């Protein structure tokens, strides 16, 4: 099955810094989503982005499907950005979405 | 809208017991999913459904069963609980396979 690899596994930032999280996948995909899991365990969908670029406030994401990777950019990070960021991909129209292992982000005040 | 509602939030089972985790959504989503998350790990897909009456196995289906008799409900059944099933279980739904919404999770311990 499709493999999903996220990097870096851990990231520590000072408040106000920018960061880039990466998601590599082993096969062509027609579905890619980014999620944030806050320290209380709640999972929030950030982007549905099988290709192209999207922006939502301080967050933006780019997927280059032909090169099998996606990037999540966080600008001017805040302590509330802390948590785990997951990438999930699907390679067919079956609805099956596979998650990466996540990047744990800690933003220090 | 309540979104995706999971019950119970916490449960402790003895080895060999059975239980059903409930999941309901009120967004008229056709796709529904069950994932488990072990401590410090990512989410593993247990089962998913693309519509009422249709279910399919994910990455880790052994020891679980599901049914999808209505669009709104997608219960997960654990038969003969084992310590390896100690985990946090998340239900999710989406319209087609876009924009997945998650429930708040069920923390299950099997002792």
Output DSSP code: residue B15.
T
Taking the CA of residue A95 and the nearest CA in chain B, the distance in Å comes to 5
Q: Is B100 on the interface with A (CB under 8 A)?
A: yes
Please report residues of A whose CB lies closer than 8 A to that of B102: 35, 42-45
Is pLDDT of B96 > 80? no
Nearest to A97 by CA among B18, B41, B98: B98
Using CB atoms, which residue from B31, B43, B88 is nearest to A95? Answer: B31
Range from A20-24, A58-62, A75-79, B37-41 carrying the lowest mean pLDDT: B37-41
According to the model, what pLDDT value does residue B11 have? 96
Whether residues A96 and B88 touch (CB distance < 8 A) is answered with no
Average pLDDT over residues B49-74: 95
Q: Does B42 touch chain A (CB under 8 A)?
A: yes
**A2 and chain B: CB distance < 8 Å anywhere?**
no
**Helices and strands in chain A, H and E counts:** 0, 11
User: What count of Cα atoms within 13 Å lies in the side-chain half-sphere of residue A70?
Assistant: 34
List Cβ<8 Å contacts ≥24 apart for B64-68.
B64/B34, B66/B34, B68/B32
pLDDT band at B1 (very low <50, low <70, confident <90, very high): confident
Beta carbons of B35 and A33 less than 8 Å apart: no
Q: Is the pLDDT of residue A95 over 90?
A: no
User: What's the average model confidence in pLDDT over B24-40?
Assistant: 94
Task: Please name the residues in contact with A97: beta carbons below 8 A apart, sequence gap of 6 or more.
Answer: A31, A33, A88, A89, A90, B33, B45, B48, B97, B100
What is residue B2's predicted lDDT score, i.e. its pLDDT?
81
Q: Which of A44, A96, A100 sits opposite B45 (nearest CB)?
A: A96
Mean pLDDT of chain A: 94
d(CA A39, CA B1): 24
**Cα(A88)–Cα(A70) distance, integer angstroms:** 10
Inter-chain Cβ pairs, chain A and chain B, closer than 8 A: 59
Residue written as token pair 């520590």: A12
B11 touches chain A (CB under 8 A): no
Residue A11's Cβ-side half-sphere holds a number of Cα atoms within 13 Å equal to 26
**pLDDT in the model for residue A67:** 96
Find all residues with CB under 8 Å of B62, minimum gap 6, and list them.
none
Q: Which residue from A minimizes the CA distance to B97?
A: A95
Confidence of residue A93 (pLDDT cuts 50, 70, 90): low
Q: What percent of chain A has pLDDT over 70?
A: 99
Q: Are A89 and A31 in contact (CB under 8 A)?
A: yes
Q: What is the DSSP letter of B72?
A: S
Q: Phi, psi at residue A67, to the nearest 5°?
A: -105, 5
Question: Looking at the partner chain, which of B58, B92, B98 has a beta carbon nearest the beta carbon of A96?
Answer: B58
In B, minimum Cα distance to A102 occurs at: B42
């Amino acid at each position: 099955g499709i493999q999903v690899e996220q990097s870096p596994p851990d990231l520590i930032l000072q408040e106000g810094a920018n960061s880039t999280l990466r998601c590599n996948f082993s096969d062509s995909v027609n579905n890619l989503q980014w999620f944030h899991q806050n320290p209380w365990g709640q999972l929030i969908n950030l982007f549905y982005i099988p290709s192209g670029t999207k922006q939502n406030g301080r967050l933006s994401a780019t997927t280059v499907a032909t090169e099998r990777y996606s990037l999540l950019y966080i600008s001017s990070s805040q302590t509330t950005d802390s948590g785990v960021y997951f990438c999930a991909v699907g390679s067919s129209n079956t609805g099956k979405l596979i998650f990466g292992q996540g990047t744990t982000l800690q933003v220090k005040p | 809208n309540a979104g995706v509602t999971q019950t119970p939030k916490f449960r402790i089972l003895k080895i060999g017991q059975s239980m059903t985790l409930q999941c309901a959504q009120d967004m008229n989503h056709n796709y529904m999913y069950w994932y488990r998350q072990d401590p410090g790990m990512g989410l593993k897909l247990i089962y998913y459904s693309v519509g009422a009456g249709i279910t399919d196995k994910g990455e880790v289906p052994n020891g679980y069963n599901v049914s999808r008799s209505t669009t709104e409900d997608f219960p997960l059944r654990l038969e003969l609980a084992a310590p390896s099933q100690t985990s946090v279980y998340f239900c999710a739904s989406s319209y087609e396979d876009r924009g997945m919404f998650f429930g708040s999770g069920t923390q299950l311990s099997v002792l």
